[in-house]
Structure 1
Amino acid sequence: MHNQQQPGSISMAANIQMSKSSGFRLSSLAAAATLCVVMAGCGLAPGMKMEKPAALVETSTDQGDPATTVNIPITPIDLSLVRKLKAAQPSATDDPNASLYGKATPYKLGVGDVLQITVWDHPELVAALGQPAQQTRIADAAPGFIVDADGNLQFPYVNRTLHVAGKTESQVQRELYSELSKVFVKPQVTVRVASFRASQVYIDGDVRTPGSQQINDIPMTLTEAIGRAGGFATTADQSRVTLIRDGVTYHINMASMTSKGRSPSDIMLKPGDALRIDSRDENGVYVMGEVTKPATVIPMRNGKLTLSDAISQAGSFNAETSDPKELYVIRNGQTDTPEVYKLDARSPVSMLLANSFELQPKDVVYVDNNGLVRFSRVLNLLLPAINAGLTAAVITK
C-alpha cells in the first residue's frame, strides 16, 4: 500500500515555509529601514558642519511673525582681512578723547573748604581759628575758617565779607593783606587750605579701594585718581575705562594711549566726574567645540586677545575629534548683523594669521569635529533603533 499524505499535513508544511519566507523578508526590510535611518541621520549629526558659502540662520520678530531665513556670509581669515581690520582701528590722529586733555592749574577754593589763616606777630589773632577742633570722625573738618554756602569768608578786623570761592590761596592772601593793612602796619599773612571738601570725583569698578576722592592742590589727573584708589585690581581691564562728565560718556583705552606715546596723566579730571574701570571677566570670549578645555577666556590686562591666545588658553585642538580646517569666529551673534569668520588652521603658518586676528568681547570661537566623530555619534544615537529592529526580526523568525 502506498502511504497517502493527508491534506492537512501539506497545508502545515506550506505555512511553515511561508512563515520562514515572511520572517526573512521582514528582517530584510528592518535592515533596509535601519540603513535608511542611518543614512538620513548623517545629515542630522550633532556638530554638523557650517555651510561654506554662507550660514543660514532663522530669525523671528517680536510681533509673532513666522521665522525668516537670513543668509550670513562666511568670511575667510586671510592676510587681506587682517590688514583691513587693522586699518579700521582708530589712528593716533583721530583721538575721540582730545577734549579731555589739559594742563594742571592752581587749586581754586570752593564751598566747604576750611582755611588756616595766620597773621604773624599779632598774638591777639592766634585764637582766631574759626571753628574749634573736632576731628572725632574722618569726615570732620580741620579747625579753621570755613567757606560758607555763598562762597564767602569772614575774618577779624576785616570790615567786609570776602568772596573767596573760585579764587586761589594767593589771591585770598593778597586781599587779606590789603584789608588788614588798614589796621596793622605791613601785616604778614599766611593762607593755606587746612581741609579740602569742596570738590570730589567718584571712582568705581576694578580698583582696590573704590569710592569718592577729594580734589586738592595736587592735580587730579587720570593716573592720580586711580593711584589714590589703590591702583588697578588684578582683574582690571586697562583698555576699558569709562569717564562720565556732564552727562557725556567717554571711553578711554589707557593701554592704547601708552602704546601710542600719550600719557594718561594728560587727562585732567574735573569736580563731579565719575570714573569706572571694567573687569576683564565682563569682556570674555567663549571657546567651544572640539577643544581640550572649552571655557570663557578673558582678555589680557591691556584688553587684547587674539584668536591664537584663545585657542591656547582652551588647551588647543582636541587631537582625536577636532577638524582644524573648520575653525569659526562668530561675532555680534546677539544683534541683527552677525558676522562669521573662518580659518583653515591645518597649517602651522595659519597660526600666524590667528595671532594677528584680534577678538572682541563676547565673540564665540567654535571648532568643528571631523567626519568620523560625527558618524560615531550618529551611530550611538541610532544603536537603540538598530537593536530594536534586529530583535523584531529574530522574534518574527
Structure 2
Amino acid sequence: MSTRDSSATVTPEASPNQSGTQIPITDINIALIKAMRENAAKANESQTQQLTSVPGPYTIGIGDVLQITMWDHPELAAALGPQPQTVARASDPAAGFVVDQKGNVDFPYVGTVHAEGLQTDELQRLLLRKLQPFFNGPQVTVRIGSFRSKQVYIDGEVHTPGSQQINDIPMTLYEAINRAGGFTTTADQSRLVLVRDGISYPLDLPRMMANGQNASKIFLRSGDVLHVMARDDSGVYVMGEVNKPALAIPMKNGRLSLSDAISQAGSLNSSSADAAQLYVIRGSLNANPALFHLDARSPVSMILANQFELQPEDVVYIDGNGLVRFSRVLNLLLPAINAGLTAAVVTK
C-alpha cells in the first residue's frame, strides 16, 4: 500500500484503473482535511462576493401598473378606470396605468410617455414638464401600484415553488426562500444553486454561517433561478465489508462525514472487514478520479473519519481481510478445478 506520512501530499504508490492509468492514493490526515476545508471556504467566499452587490433602485418595467395622481384635478381620476373596493384575486393587478409591451403609458393631456427603465421620481418629473403647458403649477405623484415586470423563480425542495415578484425593496436570498414557504424536511441546505445569466453559482448556507458570511447580503435579480436540491440527490455509496451496504444520506445541514456514512451502513463487518483498507473514491465517472485511503485500526483514525467530509456520489469502500480474500479466490478456483478433474475422468 501507499507510504504513510503526516503531509497532505499524494503518496507515491497508486492504483490502476480500467484504462491502465495509475490513480494516486492520498492518505487522509489532519493536513489533508485542513487543506480541503480552506479550499472549500475560499471557493464559497469567492462565490458569495460575486452575488453581494446591492441592486440599484427599482425601475419601471413592462407590465407594471402605475398609479399617477394629479392633485386638484379629480376629473383625471377617471383615467384610472373603476376603483374596486377589494381585489378579487391576489393575482389581479391594482387599478392604474399599465405599462404596455413597448414600455409606454398614456396619460391625459400628455399622450404617450416612455416609462420603461425610469424610476418613479424620474417619470414624475417628466410628466410635470409635459403638463406645465396645460396647467398652472401642476402637482403630480407617481407610485407603482402593482409590481409585475421583474420576478425570480424558486424551485426544488421548498414548500411553495414558483415565481416571486421583485418590488422596490431588494430581495435577499433569505427573503426569497421565506416567500417560497421555507425549506422542506428533505432539502439539502448546503446545495443551493443560483442560476444567473447562464452561470450557476453553488451556495452552501451552513458553511457560510460557519465562516461568518451573511447570506442576507446576497440579492436576487430579475430572471434569477434558485434551485434547492434534495438530500437524496447528494447521497454517498457505502459498499464492501459493511453490515448493510447502503446509500448514505447527508444530515439536515447537508454535511456527511466519513464516520456518518459508515454508521448509516451499520459499521464495519467485524468478521470480514480489514479496517486498514478503507478507501474513498471521488469523481469515479471523471477522467481523473481521486482515491483517498484511511487506516481505521487506531482510535485516532476515527477522529479523522469524523472530520473528513464526503461529497455527493463519493464511493466509500472497505476491503476484506486476508482470510476473506483467500476464501473468495478459493471459491473462484474450485469450480474450475472440479471441472478440470471431471473432464480428465471422462477422457479416461
The TM-score normalised by the length of structure 1 is 0.73
Q: CA contact under 8 A between 2:154 and 2:163: conserved in structure 1? A: yes
Q: How far, CA to CA, are the matches of 2:82 and 2:123 in structure 1?
A: 19
Contact 2:16/2:23 (8 A) holds in 1: yes
The structure 1 residue matched to 2:105, chosen from 153, 167, 191, is 153
The residue aligned with 1:16 is none
Pick aligned residue for 1:144 from 86, 90, 96: 96
- State the one-letter code of the partner of 2:162: G
| 1:64-83 → structure 2 map (5 Å cutoff) | 69-83=20-34
| Structure 2 SS opposite 1:171 | helix
Residue of structure 2 aligned with 1:210, choices 141, 155, 161 = 161
In the TM superposition, what is the alpha-carbon distance from 1:109 to its structure 2 partner?
0.8
- Pairing 1:292–2:243 present: yes
1:233 equivalent in alignment to 2:184 = yes
- Counterparts of 1:288-327 in structure 2 under 5 Å? 288-327=239-278
8 Å contact from structure 2 (residues 55, 221) kept in 1: no
Residues 215-261 of structure 1, C-alpha deviation per residue, up to 9 Å, x if partnerless? 11221222222222222222222222222222233233333322222
> 2:166 aligned with 1:242, yes or no?
no
Kindly indicate whether the alpha-carbon contact (under 8 Å) linking 1:213 and 1:228 is maintained by their aligned counterparts in 2. Answer: yes
Between the aligned partners of 2:74 and 2:289, the Cα distance in structure 1 is 78
Q: Which amino acid aligns with 1:57?
A: N
What is the SS of the residue equivalent to 2:216? helix
1:327 to partner: Cα distance: 0.9
Residue number in structure 1 paired with 2:113: 162
Corresponding residue number in structure 1 for 2:319: 368
Name the amino acid aligned to 2:75.
E
1:110 to 2:61 alignment: yes
Give the distance between the partners of 1:252 and 1:93, measured in 2 at CA: 7
Distance change >3 Å, CA 230–CA 94, structure 1 → 2: closer
Structure 1: runs of 5 or more not aligned:
1-51, 60-68, 393-397
Two-structure CA RMSD over aligned residues (Å): 3.4
Q: C-alpha offsets along residues 76-122 of structure 1, whole Å, 9 cap, x if unaligned? A: 22233333433443438961442322225432111111112233443
Separation (CA, whole Å) in 2 of partners of 1:344 and 1:268: 45
Bigger shift: residues 170-179 or 198-207: 170-179
Could you say if the C-alpha distance between residues 387 and 337 of structure 1 is closer, same or farther in structure 2, counting changes exceeding 3 Å?
A: closer
Deviation at 1:181, TM superposition (A): 5.1
Letter in 2 for 1:148: D
Give the number of aligned pairs: 334
| SS of structure 1 residue aligned to 2:18 | strand
Structure 2 residue aligned with 1:42 = none
SS in structure 2 of the partner of residue 249 of structure 1 = strand
Among 51, 55, 58, the alignment partner of 2:18 is 58
**For the Cα contact (< 8 Å) 1:92–1:260, is it kept in 2?**
no
Which residue of 81, 86, 101 corresponds with 2:52?
A: 101
CA distance in 2, matches of 1:185, 1:84: 72
Residues 236 and 94 (structure 1 numbering): CA distance in 2 closer, same or farther, change over 3 Å?
Answer: closer
**Quick check: 2:110–2:131 contact (8 Å CA) kept in 1?**
no
Matched, 1:254 2:254: no
Query: Quick check: 1:131–1:144 contact (8 Å CA) kept in 2?
Result: no
SS of the equivalent of 1:108 reads: coil
Instruction: Work out whether 1:223 is the aligned partner of 2:174.
Output: yes
Residues 385/58 of structure 1: CA separation in 2 closer, same or farther (3 Å cut): closer
- The percentage of counterpart residues that share the same residue type is 57
Q: For residues 117 and 319 of structure 1, do their structure 2 counterparts lie closer, same or farther at Cα, with a shift above 3 Å needed?
A: same
CA shift at 1:314, angstroms? 1.7
Larger RCO, structure (CA 8 Å, separation 6 or more): 1
CA distance in 1, matches of 2:331, 2:318: 21
Deviations 1:325-349 (A, max 9, x none): 1111112212221222211111111
Query: Which letter maps to 2:53?
Result: G
Residue identity opposite 2:196 in structure 1 = R
The answer to whether the 8 A contact 2:110-2:127 is kept is no
Measure the CA separation in 2 of the matches of 1:185 and 1:98: 51
Q: What letter is aligned with 1:98?
A: Q
**Alignment correspondent of 1:127:** 78
Measure the CA separation in 1 of the matches of 2:337 and 2:115. 92
**Residues 43-100 of structure 1, C-alpha deviations (whole Å, 9 max, x = no match):** xxxxxxxxx94323222xxxxxxxxx22223222223333343344343896144232
Higher Rg: 1
Q: Give the direction of change, closer, same or farther, for the CA distance of 1:305–1:213 in structure 2 (3 Å limit).
A: same
Structure 2 regions of 5+ residues with no counterpart?
1-11, 344-348
* The one of 189, 194, 206 aligned to 2:145: 194
- Cα distance in structure 2, aligned partners of 1:192 and 1:84: 53
Q: Distance in 1 between matches of 2:342 and 2:208?
A: 72
Rate the CA distance shift 1:239–1:104 in 2: closer, same or farther, 3 A. Answer: same
